[in-house]
Chain A
């Protein structure tokens, strides 16, 4: 069998049922082999979308995603998607075609150094020079992408290597023994838990990545410690759970940020002290001792020196941590603040108010409907105002903050959950970054409901320019947007437009009742802001709060 055939076999045996890609010269042998592949290939209309769809497919399934592209521009187009997976620790295998080995290094047609270009954003990469090396790379790549802290792997395959004979894949080795916890310091951690008065859990995306959701929920139930989450940790505990204080950080909830500043013990679980979460690091959780639990030793002490670091299996670690009784005054204070926010409700407006609409939509959707979003104000409103019951239902580009993620992510998520509806919340700036994918949605008849919040501007940038650059608005005006509803129709999607708050119930009904793809264009007021906001360089308790707009 030739190398291309072995690639197909490797993908199939990993249980991947859908790959995303775009053909071209150097990868033609693989596209030929794909005709007989036992899995589906989805032709996106841009390689960036292929990588982002595969990333979301991986997140939604909890396993590896695969994307394919040709050499040169095909491969460079993938890079944003690979970097997105890298910064959010998503297992992704990208296979790129490369020019033949005989011309490599000669600046041949569509030759770029894919290995070098992707080096900083991969967990590992391969450039096999012959069939044996290709088979070896395929045997390794999927396990590397999955194990420990997941991440992307690139295999850059010269065209002649795809055409040459390659040895068959060897039987898969036993899966790596499960990661162990670091038991050395558990007793210390338990001592701190015993002596603290105001403990708080700060949980990130690592919890779900480590398949530790059950252990995490059990730990919270046992200890009754209140929880704040990062953007990627949303859903570790249902957002409406009594102990969930919400997301912390720059656009975090008041209840979450104040709890962090007041706690005397911070139990950090699968989170990494990202600057969006901590604000001014030197003033983050100033009174707290820190117990930091993570699978990645490089995260421990990277930004904040922990009092106790626990490296290794999160589930085992959480099962070994103990707290018999929690100070009731502390939890009461935390939970009261959270309740006050819920009680505050939403302002009345005549135009559509995105946070209110998202909150109501969330209540109307089944609990297991995945929501993808793009990047900007709407992304923060999704995080703040929708209720999530598991991180795999909230697909957001956290680390890289990639505008253009939402639409391809919805495609990847739809293939990971066949037949299930997917909601994609996007902005008028972000949508245009991968709008060509409306065609993919129409072609594949995917039940994706696109909810576009159109504020005729790059809203989040506009907000910052208004607040921190003396209202000197620079290049944020999108008032010449196309007629989005008509554009969606031109792509073959049913579409509708709304302006008024009175239409909010209609919007929710349209989204929840539609069986197939749907495009809902919602005009919102460009002055609406995301609150609260921790200004750059400020500690998290110095939140700016505004009226609704």
Chain B
């Protein structure tokens, strides 16, 4: 099941790396990520992840990160992954 996550975070050292590490370790597949860190203090991260059971545990783990100010998740339509030709 695919889910979209919208996070607003501090633009702290390594913040994006920390978020992505949690996504991987907790067993979610990252399908798509966009991060806007043009503001030196804050960063907006939007990503689509997939997980067989579609549970929301990832949210709890992300909210525990110091840099993360807020995190929301909603179901996303399936993404077609282009196959290599």
- CB pair A115–B14 under 8 Å, yes or no, is yes
B49-61 CB contact bits vs A (8 Å, 1 = yes)? Answer: 0000000010011
Residue of B14, B57, B66 touching A119 (CB-CB under 8 A): B14
B63 contact set on A, CB distance < 8 A: 297-298
Q: Which of A120, A126, A298, A302 contacts B21 (CB 8 A)?
A: A120
Partner of B57, one of A123, A144, A298: A298
Asked if B82 lies at the interface with its beta carbon under 8 angstroms from chain A, I say: no
Verify if B80 is at the interface (C-beta below 8 Å from A): no
| Interface size range of chain A in the complex | 10 to 19
Q: How far is the CA of A296 from the CA of B23 in the complex (A)?
A: 18
How far in angstroms is the closest Cβ of chain B from A132?
A: 13
> In whole angstroms, how far apart are the Cα atoms of A144 and B67 in the complex?
12
In chain B between 17 and 63, which residues have their CB closer than 8 angstroms to a CB of chain A?
17-18, 21, 25, 57, 60-61, 63
CA distance A300 to B66 in the complex (A): 20
- Chain A: interface secondary structure? mixed
Asked if B13 and A127 make an inter-chain contact with CB atoms under 8 angstroms apart, the answer reads yes
Once A and B bind, how many residue pairs between them come within 8 Å at the CB atom?
Answer: 30
Contact status of A297 and B60, CB under 8 A, knowing A119-B18, A120-B25, A144-B66: yes
Interface residues of chain B: helix, strand, loop or mixed (majority):
helix
Say whether B14 contacts A298, CB under 8 Å.
Answer: no
Contact with B along A285-297 (1 / 0, CB 8 A): 0000000000011
A115 to B14, CA, bound (A): 8
* Contacting residues, chain B, for A61 (C-beta < 8 A): none
Chain B contact-residue range equals 10 to 19
A224 at interface (Cβ–Cβ under 8 A)? no
Q: How far is the CA of A119 from the CA of B12 in the complex (A)?
A: 14
For B66, the chain A residues whose CB sits under 8 A away are 123-124, 144
A126-B13, A127-B13 known; A298-B18 Cβ under 8 A: no
The answer on a CB contact under 8 Å between B14 and A127 is yes
A301 at the interface (CB under 8 A from B): yes
Q: Which residues of the other chain, B, contact A301 by a CB distance below 8 angstroms?
A: 57
Q: How far is the CB of B68 from chain A (nearest CB, A)?
A: 11
Q: Are B64 and A298 in contact, with the CB atoms below 8 A?
A: yes
Contact residues in A for B57 (Cβ distance below 8 Å): 298, 301-302
- A 294-329 contacts with B by CB, 8 A: 296-298, 300-302
Taking Cβ atoms with an 8 Å cutoff, the residues of B that contact A are 13-14, 17-18, 21, 25, 57, 60-61, 63-66
Residues on A lying within 8 angstroms of B by beta carbon are 115-116, 119-120, 123-127, 144, 296-298, 300-302
Q: Besides A298-B57, A301-B57, 12 other CB < 8 A contacts?
A: A116-B14, A119-B14, A124-B65, A125-B14, A144-B66, A296-B64, A297-B60, A297-B63, A298-B61, A298-B64, A302-B57, A302-B60
